[in-house]
Amino acid sequence: MAKDTSKFTIRVDQLAEALEISLDRLVEIIDFFDSDPDDEWQLKENDHFIFLNKKQNERIFSQIGAFAIAKYMDSQDTPSIWERIREFLTRHKEKLRQAFINRKIHENCSSLTVRNNRHFLSKKDVVNILCTSYPRINQAFDAIRRSDRPLIIGEDFDDIDGVRYYSLNGFSRLSRELATTLTMKDRREWCDAVEVVGKKTLRRIVDELEGRKQAIQRVKDRAKTRDKSTCQITGRKHTPHKKVRLAAHHMFSESHYPHLATSIDNLITMDEDIHQEFHSWMGNTKVACTIDHLITFVCERYPECDEAIDKLYAAKKILGHQTPKGSEGQAQLKGKADDQAA
């Protein structure tokens, strides 16, 4: 079993800075601790510190180790060192907590979705980020509902395809409620920090998503221009006198092949009616689709469109073999291939 190193987080340079001494002075103190195994000043491996590199005597300390060194310096009549190390450890602990919250949010925001110009997170993701349980979230929700400012459906929460989602504002209010009502102090502090740090992290994620959305729209517009506003399957062209609704279609689907979402080579302009017909043929718009699916579709439904089939094979040579993101996309592709083979 791997050694638990999670409590050893303080680098030597951080500790020296917190103690307001040079690295050389800190090394002298560590050598003093190591010099006499029978005196009262000891640094114990796996308790006060662990070695990063034993041959080079490189260590990383725990809070207990930092306190041990600070206690020694305090005994040497160094004024106010005790308060300085307490302040440093408090700030260090807060930075660690914020880093873990950032990581927790990044690993549990895949459900982030837009509805009525608001971003919503699934209840599952909210539970995971707050490190709580479904019953405790329900309890917090009921407590807010009984308050003079209950959560509002459509604004603070909503049910999407039968799944409960919370808007970022609703998520923030649940965090605040748990930060004031949970029994354990450490749990309250986590939810309190999530309420503060979470807003900033989620804002950055939302900004990135919005930027990506705009980039995808720009490349779709470029694809239509490249294709001269003409359906690449039927050759129908949109003109001021003849309206043809056109769609820029991702041959490798946007959600399952996100690395190709902004590649113009992965886009083809299609009559919107044919576009909808293709996704209906696939099952729905959420199914992972590939350029091979589109080739099969055109061969089946539009066998007279020789040029379109030639263009798709040319695009396939450029795009090559692609692997979908996640096991869900791979399972969908296998299911569709089995259906077509049957």
Spatial separation of the C-alpha atoms in residues 60 and 62, rounded to whole Å: 7
Amino acid at residue number 82: W
Handedness of CA 185, 190, 196, 197 (dihedral sign): positive
User: In this predicted model, what pLDDT tens digit does every residue of 46-55 receive, in sequence order?
Assistant: 999 999 888 8
Give the tokens for residue 13: 């340079």
State yes or no: pLDDT of 58 exceeds 70: yes
User: In this predicted model, what pLDDT tens digit does every residue of 173-199 receive, in sequence order?
Assistant: 999 999 999 988 888 989 998 988 888
Q: Average pLDDT, stretch 41-66?
A: 90
State yes or no: pLDDT of 338 exceeds 70: no
Handedness of CA 237, 241, 246, 248 (dihedral sign): positive
User: In this predicted model, what pLDDT tens digit does every residue of 194-232 receive, in sequence order?
Assistant: 988 888 899 899 999 899 999 999 999 999 999 999 999
What are the helix and strand counts (H, E) for the chain?
A: 12, 9
User: In this predicted model, what pLDDT tens digit does every residue of 102-151 receive, in sequence order?
Assistant: 999 999 998 999 888 899 999 999 999 999 999 999 999 999 999 999 99
Spatial separation of the C-alpha atoms in residues 250 and 241, rounded to whole Å: 28
Give the tokens for residue 198: 């979470």
User: In this predicted model, what pLDDT tens digit does every residue of 286-326 receive, in sequence order?
Assistant: 788 999 999 999 999 999 999 999 999 999 999 998 888 76
- SS3 of 40, please? coil
Per-residue three-class SS string for 162-231 = CEEEEEHHHHHHHHHHHHHHCCCHHHHHHHHHHHHHHHHHHHHHHHHHHHHHHHHHHHHHHHHHHCCCEC
State yes or no: pLDDT of 337 exceeds 60: no
pLDDT at 332: 57
CA-CA distances (angstroms) from residue 22 to 49, 281, 282?
19, 70, 66
DSSP 8-state secondary structure symbol assigned to residue 241? S
pLDDT at 330: 58
